[in-house]
Every structure is written in structure tokens, then in C-alpha cells.
Amino acid sequence: MKRLEHQCETGHGGEVIETENMKILILGGTREARLLAEDPHFPQQARFIFSLAGVTQAPDLPQGQTRLGGFGGVEGLIAYLERENIAAVIDATHPFAARISHHAATACAATCRPILRLGRPAWQRQPGDHWVDVASMDDAVPALGVEPRRVLLTTGRQHVAPFIKAPQHYYFLRSIEPVSQDLPRFFETIIARPPFKLEDELALLTRLKIDVLVTKNSGAPAIAAKLDAARRLGLRVIMINRPLLPPIGEVSTVEGAIKWVARLASVHLESRQM
């Protein structure tokens, strides 16, 4: 069996990674992750294991080997990488899933595996936007102000608690799945799955008489229409900026990730032929 040795850029070089069956762990959670797994140009010398945290109850999984659930922190992920003989990791998680991104970077450094982030670009402010940039979900609450507002929350069903502390506002919480907790009377839920069209977003914001939109800067094209609609209507947008992620190699397209895997697969093939 041929073995491929990687020299870690972080100074953890020296470990040997089994690569007879080159396995790529894709940490999913974005549309780009699924597109990568389904791309017909994914190198034949490699095969992926597609992993999701399991937050969504009925996830849309690609064909191929998949897994659901967490790893048990950094130590659990290290054990998984070694047990499954993972050759490399592609972090294609949501831009706000900072914990798993840090865990993945740490685990790959510790085990001398190459890692790449497939990250979509953040949304950029356009002429006519009325954005208020904040650093966190907690900071979004005071940014709403003290005067009562009608607020469209598109921050996810798991981030309700900070806004409950500001009951002077009336909130419309939009999420893909129902909220598991009982919400106060000043909340209404909207269950909807993207993509969203501009005309539908304009109609929703107008019908609900929304004053403020609160969103995370995910950069997702499928939900960007709400920003276009808010711009047209002159609405204020509380934009929650992305958390700091570990400094690893990054590409912004599926094509870039495919090329990265292809380069690894080429080295892998050469090592098999030696």
C-alpha cells in the first residue's frame, strides 16, 4: 500500500496519512457544499464523505456516503479523521458555524491533514442601502432602538432569545422549520424555504408593514432578494457581521474546490504509481 506524506504548513509535519482510497470529508451546511458533492467533475481518484451537523430535521443530502451529527469536539474529530483514514477536509459549513470551522482547522493541523474552506463571499453594501452593521446577535437588539418597530427576523430559529429581551417590538420570525420553543405573544412565525423571489419579498415586507429587517451576512444568493426588497422600500437593515474564522486556504467557488481536490488526487495517483 502506498502512503502519501503531507508536510504541515503549521509546523506539525511528519505524520503519514493513508491514501489508498483517498477520502475527502466535506463539512456541509451550504448549497455550495451540496453542489460540490454532486459536481460531475469531482475527481474519480477521490471520494467524499458528506457530513451535516443534523440541525435540520429533513436535510437534502447528496448521493454518496453521508453522516449526520457532531463529532464530539476537536478530540472527537481527530479520532474520526484517523479512524476513517480521511485524506483531506473541505469546510463548506455556514459562515456563522464558527465552532466547527475552528474545530476542523485545529484537528487538521494536529493530524497533518490539508484543509480548504469553500466560502461564499459576503454581501456588500449597495447604493441606497440603509445598513446598520453589528458584530453579534446580542448587538442587533439595541440597534433596533427603543421605539416600537415591526421586525422581520431572518436569523434562524435558534437565535430568538436576545430579541425576547426587547418586547416593545413586534417580530415576524422566518425559518425553514418550526421553532421548538413557545414564543411570546409579540412573535409570529413564518415557515418558508428559499429561494425567495424579489416580487415575493416586496409583497411580504409591504403586507406585514415591516420597519426593520434583521439578517446575518451569509452571502447566500438564494435569500439575497430580501436585501433588494429592503433597498427598494427604503427599509433599515440590521446586518450581523460574520464571526472570525481560522486562517486557512479558501476558495469562493465550487470550481476552485474541485481544482484543489484534483491537485491532491494527482499527487495521490503519483504516489500510488511509485
Closest CA to 54 of 78, 75, 35, 71: 71
- Helix (H), strand (E), coil (C) string for 6-38: CCCCCCCCCCEEECCCEEEEEECCCHHHHHHHH
Supply 99's cell numbers: 465552532
CA 138 to chain centroid: 20
pLDDT, tens digit (0-9, with 9 covering 90-100), for 136-149: 999 999 999 999 99
pLDDT at 179 (0 to 100): 87
pLDDT at 59 (0 to 100): 66
Please, which residues have CB within 8 angstroms of residue 190's CB and are 6 or more apart in sequence? 172, 173, 174, 175, 204
pLDDT at 198 (0 to 100): 98
pLDDT at 54 (0 to 100): 67
Inter-helix orientation angle 98-111/73-83, to 10°: 50
Report whether 198 contacts 93 (CB < 8 A). no
Residue ranges in the chain whose pLDDT is less than 50: 1-7, 9-19
Residue corresponding to grid cell 423571489: 197
Please, which residues have CB within 8 angstroms of residue 120's CB and are 6 or more apart in sequence? 30, 32, 95, 218, 219, 220, 221, 252
pLDDT at 267 (0 to 100): 73
Residue 223: how many other CB atoms lie within 10 Å: 18
DSSP state of 119: -
Q: Can you tell me the distance from the alpha carbon of 193 to that of 181, in angstroms, rounded to the nearest whole number?
A: 20
Confidence (pTM): 0.85
Report whether 191 contacts 178 (CB < 8 A). yes
Please, which residues have CB within 8 angstroms of residue 255's CB and are 6 or more apart in sequence? none
pLDDT at 268 (0 to 100): 58
pLDDT, tens digit (0-9, with 9 covering 90-100), for 109-144: 999 999 999 999 999 999 999 999 999 999 999 999
Q: Can you tell me the distance from the alpha carbon of 19 to that of 261, in angstroms, rounded to the nearest whole number?
A: 13
Tally of residues, the chain = 274
Q: Can you tell me the distance from the alpha carbon of 30 to that of 118, in angstroms, rounded to the nearest whole number?
A: 10
pLDDT at 79 (0 to 100): 97
